[in-house]
Amino acid sequence: MGQLVVLNHPLVHHHLSILRAKETPPALFRQQIERLSMLLAYKVTESLPTADFPIQTPVAPLTTQRLSARIALVPILRAGLGLVDPLLNLLPDAEVWHLGMYRDEATAKPVEYYCKLPDDGATDIAIVLDPMLATGGSTRMAITTLKKWGVQDIRVFSVIAAQPGIDAVRNEFPDVSIFVCTVDPELNSHKFIVPGLGDAGDRIFNTQR
What average pLDDT does range 67-75 have in this prediction?
A: 96
| CATH code of residue 141 | 3.40.50.2020
Alpha helices in the chain (DSSP H): 10-20, 26-44, 84-90, 137-149, 163-172, 200-205
| Within-domain flag for 87 | yes
What pLDDT band is residue 199 in, cutting at 50, 70 and 90? confident
Asked whether the predicted pLDDT for residue 105 surpasses 70, the reply is no
Helix (H, G, I), strand (E, B) or coil at 96: strand
**Between vectors from CA 47 to CA 43 and to CA 50, what angle results, nearest 5°?**
130
Residue 77 lies in a domain: yes
| Residue from 20, 70, 78, 103 carrying the catalytic annotation | 103
pLDDT surpasses 70 at 198: yes
CA distance 109 to 103: 6
* pLDDT the model gives residue 108: 62
Task: Name, in order, each residue with C-beta under 8 angstroms of 120's C-beta and a sequence gap of 6 or more.
Answer: 150
Opening angle at CA 190, ends 7 and 106, nearest 5: 130
**Domain-located, residue 61:** no
3-state secondary structure of 28: helix
User: What value does the mean pLDDT of the chain take?
Assistant: 92
pLDDT at 115: 81
Catalytic residue selected from 50, 64, 107, 144:
107
What pLDDT is attached to residue 45?
A: 97
Phi/psi of residue 84, nearest 5 degrees: -70, -50
107 tagged catalytic? yes
Quick: pLDDT tens for 140-158: 999 999 999 999 999 999 9
Q: Which of 180, 131, 71, 192 is nearest to 170 (CA)?
A: 180
For strands 193-194 and 186-187, give the pairing.
Answer: antiparallel
Q: What's the pLDDT at 84? A: 95
In a domain, 184, yes or no: yes
% of the chain with per-residue pLDDT over 90: 79
pLDDT for 17 beyond 90: yes
Confidence of residue 205 (pLDDT cuts 50, 70, 90): confident
199 in catalytic set: yes
* 30 in catalytic set: no
Q: Which domain holds residue 124?
A: 4-49+66-204
Inside any domain, residue 126: yes
pLDDT given for residue 71 in this prediction: 97
Q: Does 128 fall in a domain?
A: yes
- For residue 9, tell me if it sits in a domain: yes
Q: Does residue 57 lie within any of the structural domains? A: no
- 153 carries an active-site annotation: no
Q: How many domains does the chain have?
A: 1
Position 111 scores a pLDDT of 73
